[in-house]
């Protein structure tokens, strides 16, 4: 009897990890401050695993994190509609990974006030437990992989600084001394505060996200750092060798 129960539990576990979650689209009401915002540009994800408790855990957490916990006691639809009233003109999402008991997605938005600002947030969840998943669950970030990422991150920032200096000394570029210094300061702060917390999974790679914040008038000078690694290239650092 014990062997039969063990086999059944193993079968259920393997079946669960092979399943994918369904992702529905919640249509959020556009901000009344702006006219003619197409409803098809106001989309928010709703995760459906087939288990109400798990669904509630994931969807409530995404709602609260994305809205900075402004409406913790409101249902997802009501909270998003109230949140969007403040000037949101665009909202959409992308699911980049959905198997092995994991879902990885990102949500992009644009809000307009004195000026318009766009941003993207990244989320990773276990569809088995309904809890957020940290990168250390997927890959070892204490040894060789960490060294690799930090080296690539540093090298790309160094290249950014060299390119920025060329732009500053070039007579054909409109980059004054104060803006140049501010760009360097923003770059150094972004590099020094880099961590492994934000990441994105896809079918063939893992990407650590290093989004650098700069003042709005300096957006064209934002450092663009790409830290993307194929599972094949970092296979020896993966926690589960048959991933993904």
Torsion angle in degrees (nearest 10) through CA of 27, 57, 196, 93: -10
* Per-residue model confidence (pLDDT) at position 20: 83
* Per-residue model confidence (pLDDT) at position 5: 38
Positions in the chain whose pLDDT score sits under 70:
1-19, 39, 171-173
Domains and CATH numbers, the chain: 2-133 (3.30.565.40), 144-237 (no CATH)
* Per-residue model confidence (pLDDT) at position 236: 95
CA distance 62 to 103: 12
* Per-residue model confidence (pLDDT) at position 9: 36
pTM above 0.75, yes or no: yes
* Per-residue model confidence (pLDDT) at position 229: 98
Cβ atoms of 110 and 87 within 8 Å: the answer is: no
CA distance 122 to 6: 37
Both tokens assigned to 147? 């060294």
* Per-residue model confidence (pLDDT) at position 215: 87
* Per-residue model confidence (pLDDT) at position 109: 96
* Per-residue model confidence (pLDDT) at position 172: 64
What is the 3-class SS of 110-139, one letter each residue? Answer: EEECCCEEEEEEEEEEECCCCCECCHHHCE
Q: Residue 72: phi, psi to the nearest 5?
A: -65, -25
Cβ atoms of 229 and 205 within 8 Å: the answer is: yes
């Amino acid at each position: 009897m014990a062997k039969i129960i063990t086999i059944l539990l193993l079968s259920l576990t393997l079946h669960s990890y092979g399943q994918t979650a369904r992702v529905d689209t919640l249509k959020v009401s556009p901000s009344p401050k702006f006219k003619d915002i197409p409803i098809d540009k106001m989309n928010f994800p709703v995760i459906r695993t087939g288990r109400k408790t798990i669904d509630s855990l994931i969807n409530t957490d995404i709602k609260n994190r994305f809205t900075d916990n402004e409406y913790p006691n409101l249902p997802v639809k009501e909270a998003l509609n109230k949140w969007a009233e403040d000037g949101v003109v665009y909202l959409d999402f992308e699911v980049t990974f959905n198997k092995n008991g994991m879902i990885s997605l990102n949500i992009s938005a644009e809000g307009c006030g004195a000026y318009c600002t766009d941003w993207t947030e990244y989320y990773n969840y276990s569809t088995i437990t309904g809890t957020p998943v940290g990168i250390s669950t997927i890959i070892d970030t204490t040894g060789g992989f960490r060294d690799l990422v930090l080296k690539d991150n540093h090298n790309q920032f160094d290249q950014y600084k060299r390119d920025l200096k060329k732009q500053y000394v070039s007579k054909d570029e409109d980059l004054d001394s104060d803006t140049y210094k501010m760009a360097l300061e923003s770059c150094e702060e972004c590099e020094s505060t880099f961590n492994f917390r934000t990441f994105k999974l896809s079918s063939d790679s893992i990407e650590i996200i290093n989004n650098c914040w700069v003042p709005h008038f300096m957006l064209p000078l934002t450092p663009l750092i790409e830290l993307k690694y194929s599972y094949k290239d970092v296979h020896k650092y993966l926690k589960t060798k048959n991933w993904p």
